[in-house]
Structure 1
């Protein structure tokens, strides 16, 4: 039996596992990825890449290719509620409501101010091949599809695993310092008796993946179209573009039927049901796949068990509302990669990995709860308006009629409905959920400052350099070259010390500390007469330090520490800060 030794073994080759591979390669960490399936996802699955994820992709030089294949905001920046696409009746093709979503329309200006890149729509069936190509290019020969984990055990300072090639049955022993479980929770977490807390399988959904030409009827620029059937609530489904062309000439689609017993939609009836939902009885379509799946609300009680670290769906599973599932998983991998690199190079003790749980578990819990809340609220809106799945038939009939009735009473009903629909911004305009999250404990040093205000529906993002938060984006210039503050960290894994134009003492301290601790630190000054000048007044408004101050940014673009002014002993203070970040001790390990 052959034996392979690597610092890290990744189990799972979906979006999270492949992203982890790319990030580890960029940090110079050797690893092996195994995935039991022969190829990447055959179902579109998650399709919204939020602004924080696209910023991470920019850091690792993935954003341009993702954006090139994906849909831009003009192609997906709205939600719409319709009765149908086609049909000749008075209630057919009726727009019940529409609103800007995920950075589109009137939201665009605030999103552009918040980051160097905007959200992109690209389903997993098209994203994963991009990630796989980059993973294989950056780690040749070590991305192995068609290989499954058979057994694993922690033995002292290593994990010993048996990996089988599915096609031949050949088994290889893999010895690794650490194992990343990005397997969706199928194998590793269960073997370790990790408990998934929450609601398992509380709703059942049937999804149809098909091709059709909807160009004569399609309303462009929609991320998600909710169909509210006037007569049959079991046909109140939602439709999503899946590319590869975006807009009116999109070829592939996913339609989610309303939650309920999958037996309502036997596979032989799916084609006719799709035609009914769309109001297009003569539509020619090709059905690719029908899946029945469970909506879950689960978070692992432990993200770390010994030398095993859980990420993505292995650590948290939630409804697709707000588009947080894949994004949270990719951000898990991003948080973990630089910490593994620091530990494996000897710059940090193993205890730094405990901060993965301390930082990411609260975010996972919040995002799962937020997705559930948004889903329940959306259904509550529909019931309140009188067009929900459980609305009594008589009231349903009157409510739909009000959308075409010219009377003053009907106009009032429409106005009330519009105000109720507007509260769905917590589901489709939750910019603060995407960008405003912070690590309150872990590999950060709080400075006693209060967190920024948060709107109840999380639709306003307040950038801040408070430790634990994502570094605020601002455009800066040097010798005619324009960069984002997010570009200062790059992908090589160094810390960045951003200082004011009068902070020479911090610059000198960084050089001393980098040599003393053998930790790479890049120093960048921003301001009038400094190395970089601000392209506008944004950096001055968000930096929250004086011209003599300093902000220490971690390799993952989260602020680790800051000093608003000159310290009494900058070298000692900076050395102490980096030492505390790298030697942070989180919750006790299992």
Structure 2
């Protein structure tokens, strides 16, 4: 039995754990990742990487292969409702409604203006190999698949874990200063006695993952197609393309439908069901995987206990509506990585890690609640207009007949239904949830301002430099090179202080504080005649500070502090801000 000492042990090699590995490597933090499976995911799972997640991957140099392998917006930016994919009956293959979704169609200009990169569709089965390959390149020999943690103890100043190689049975003792539980909640959270609170079983679903040529019937540009059947509610389902090619060339698919009995999950029964659901009785297909699973809505009561921190599905599980599950896990890892780096380097007090829970738990709780609300609303709307599987059979059949009727009544039924189905934008156009989430308390200094007004449907993002919010994106120019405000900070640069054109005093203050506190602080000036030119006026529109003000941005591109204008003693004010951000417990103790 060997022994390994490492600053951080990551348990779990899914999307969240592998992202955490890449982010920690980018911050220069040594770590070990163990994953009990021999390889990355074999089923597509999550498939939408939202705009904030793609910004994070871009910040860490991971976005290029995702953009290359993933579907661009023009190939997934709609949500559609059909009666079936094919069939020759009077109610088969009928178009009911469609809506722009996740930055596609009419939404594209708004998304493009809000960030340096757009969302991408890339299933987890293809995302995880990218993350694994880069993780192994950045930390050779430290990414161990086929290894499971069999037990651990938190000894106060360290975590001691036993890791077993599944192929040989050989065990290793791993000693780490901190451990990240990203194992989907299988072992770490329960071993700590951390309760998952919420609804453990919202509904049951059967999912079939298969290969088939659907090019003759598939409508390009669809993220997800809902099938609504007039005769049989058990034929209501949804179909998602999963690549590796996209559009009509797509080879692999996932079909979600009402649960089948466990004793009917044999290949013959499932293939027959898929053909029936799609309206293609002669379809040739290869079934890769089928499973019954339960949709949950849960959030961990705690994200940290001692030297162990939970992330991803270990900390929150939610319905797939709105596409916030995996994205939330990636954002957990992003929030946690720079904080672990600061603590391990001695630049921050251990209590900085307490801000991980203070920041991420409220955001993830709201994400879960929003996903539940979107799913419930969509189902309620379908039933209300008579199209849903829970609507009475006679009403559903009558509604379908009148919907396609070529008459004044048919016109008004279609118009009313369209208006009602468009309210699903809270689920598929939730731009403010994707990039507008923010932290009210944590590693930041509130300035007493109120957050910008948010529209109820959360489909409009309002940029702001208010502390706790994501730094607004604006295009800049430096020596003929175009870059985003997001490119000013990140793991190598640490914190960045952005000043206005009259911010010389702030730049001097940043230099003094950096030397005094031994912190990496970069100061940049944006404006006329400055190093960074505001070429399109985008920064001037969103900065909110005066020309002699300053905005302090964390390594994860969230605003930590700001001053709307000049002050008498900028170095002292800035030093106090860093103390409150990096030493929360010590600052609180001195204040009391």
Same fold (TM over 0.5): yes
Aligned to 2:120: 120
Query: 1:406 deviation in Å?
Result: 1.1
Aligned to 1:343: 343
Query: 1:41 deviation in Å?
Result: 0.4
- For these two proteins, the number of residue pairs brought into alignment is 588
1:182-201 paired onto structure 2 within 5 Å: 182-201=182-201
Aligned to 2:507: 507
- CA-to-aligned-CA distance 1:452-497 (integer Å, 9 cap, x gap): 0111110000010000000000000011100000111133251000
1:243-322 paired onto structure 2 within 5 Å: 243-258=243-258, 267-322=267-322
Query: 1:90 deviation in Å?
Result: 2.0
Aligned to 2:559: 559
Aligned to 1:32: 32
Range moving further from structure 2, 45-54 or 279-288: 279-288
Query: 1:259 deviation in Å?
Result: 5.5
Between the aligned partners of 2:17 and 2:117, the Cα distance in structure 1 is 23
Checking the alignment, whether the CA contact within 8 Å between 1:211 and 1:251 is kept in structure 2 is yes
Checking the alignment, whether the CA contact within 8 Å between 1:39 and 1:146 is kept in structure 2 is yes
Aligned to 1:323: 323
Checking the alignment, whether the CA contact within 8 Å between 2:201 and 2:295 is kept in structure 1 is yes
Checking the alignment, whether the CA contact within 8 Å between 1:358 and 1:587 is kept in structure 2 is no
Between the aligned partners of 1:248 and 1:434, the Cα distance in structure 2 is 28
Between the aligned partners of 2:401 and 2:18, the Cα distance in structure 1 is 50
Residue segments in structure 1 that go unaligned for 5+ positions in a row? none
Query: 1:158 deviation in Å?
Result: 0.3
Checking the alignment, whether the CA contact within 8 Å between 1:76 and 1:221 is kept in structure 2 is yes
Checking the alignment, whether the CA contact within 8 Å between 2:260 and 2:292 is kept in structure 1 is no
Aligned to 2:489: 489
Distance 1:262 1:499, change over 3 A: farther
Aligned to 2:67: 67
Aligned to 2:398: 398
1:442 aligns with 2:442: yes
Checking the alignment, whether the CA contact within 8 Å between 1:70 and 1:122 is kept in structure 2 is yes
1:517 aligns with 2:517: yes
Query: 1:263 deviation in Å?
Result: 6.3
Distance 1:195 1:335, change over 3 A: same
Query: 1:64 deviation in Å?
Result: 1.0
Checking the alignment, whether the CA contact within 8 Å between 1:194 and 1:302 is kept in structure 2 is yes
Aligned to 1:423: 423
Distance 1:313 1:377, change over 3 A: same
Aligned to 2:5: 5
Aligned to 2:81: 81
1:577 aligns with 2:587: no
Between the aligned partners of 1:37 and 1:2, the Cα distance in structure 2 is 21
Query: 1:194 deviation in Å?
Result: 0.2
Aligned to 2:433: 433
CA RMSD of aligned residues (A): 1.4
Range moving further from structure 2, 201-210 or 138-147: 201-210
Checking the alignment, whether the CA contact within 8 Å between 1:82 and 1:93 is kept in structure 2 is yes
Between the aligned partners of 1:585 and 1:398, the Cα distance in structure 2 is 64
1:339-418 paired onto structure 2 within 5 Å: 339-418=339-418
Q: Secondary structure at the match of 2:176?
A: strand
1:216 aligns with 2:216: yes
Range moving further from structure 2, 483-492 or 347-356: 483-492
Aligned to 1:528: 528
Query: 1:262 deviation in Å?
Result: 5.7
Q: Secondary structure at the match of 1:423?
A: helix
Between the aligned partners of 2:404 and 2:358, the Cα distance in structure 1 is 53
Aligned to 1:143: 143
Between the aligned partners of 1:208 and 1:336, the Cα distance in structure 2 is 35
- Deviating above 6 A after TM superposition, structure 1's stretches of 4 or more consecutive aligned residues are none
Between the aligned partners of 1:90 and 1:487, the Cα distance in structure 2 is 55
Query: 1:586 deviation in Å?
Result: 11
Distance 1:493 1:339, change over 3 A: farther
Range moving further from structure 2, 452-461 or 272-281: 272-281
Between the aligned partners of 1:415 and 1:259, the Cα distance in structure 2 is 33
Aligned to 2:469: 469
Distance 1:574 1:236, change over 3 A: same
Between the aligned partners of 1:120 and 1:367, the Cα distance in structure 2 is 20
Query: 1:267 deviation in Å?
Result: 4.8
Between the aligned partners of 1:214 and 1:374, the Cα distance in structure 2 is 29
Query: 1:352 deviation in Å?
Result: 0.3
Checking the alignment, whether the CA contact within 8 Å between 2:493 and 2:522 is kept in structure 1 is no
Q: Secondary structure at the match of 1:98?
A: strand
Between the aligned partners of 1:376 and 1:506, the Cα distance in structure 2 is 50
Between the aligned partners of 1:79 and 1:572, the Cα distance in structure 2 is 53
Query: 1:411 deviation in Å?
Result: 1.2
Checking the alignment, whether the CA contact within 8 Å between 2:267 and 2:287 is kept in structure 1 is no
Between the aligned partners of 1:373 and 1:42, the Cα distance in structure 2 is 30
1:452 aligns with 2:452: yes
Query: 1:268 deviation in Å?
Result: 3.1
Query: 1:126 deviation in Å?
Result: 0.2
Query: 1:265 deviation in Å?
Result: 6.1
Q: Secondary structure at the match of 1:348?
A: coil
Aligned to 1:478: 478
Between the aligned partners of 1:493 and 1:180, the Cα distance in structure 2 is 24
Range moving further from structure 2, 253-262 or 276-285: 253-262
Between the aligned partners of 2:338 and 2:583, the Cα distance in structure 1 is 14
Between the aligned partners of 2:490 and 2:174, the Cα distance in structure 1 is 31
Between the aligned partners of 2:435 and 2:578, the Cα distance in structure 1 is 24
Checking the alignment, whether the CA contact within 8 Å between 1:442 and 1:586 is kept in structure 2 is no
Checking the alignment, whether the CA contact within 8 Å between 1:206 and 1:257 is kept in structure 2 is yes
Checking the alignment, whether the CA contact within 8 Å between 2:338 and 2:491 is kept in structure 1 is no
TM-score (norm 2): 0.98
Checking the alignment, whether the CA contact within 8 Å between 2:195 and 2:301 is kept in structure 1 is yes
Checking the alignment, whether the CA contact within 8 Å between 1:436 and 1:461 is kept in structure 2 is yes
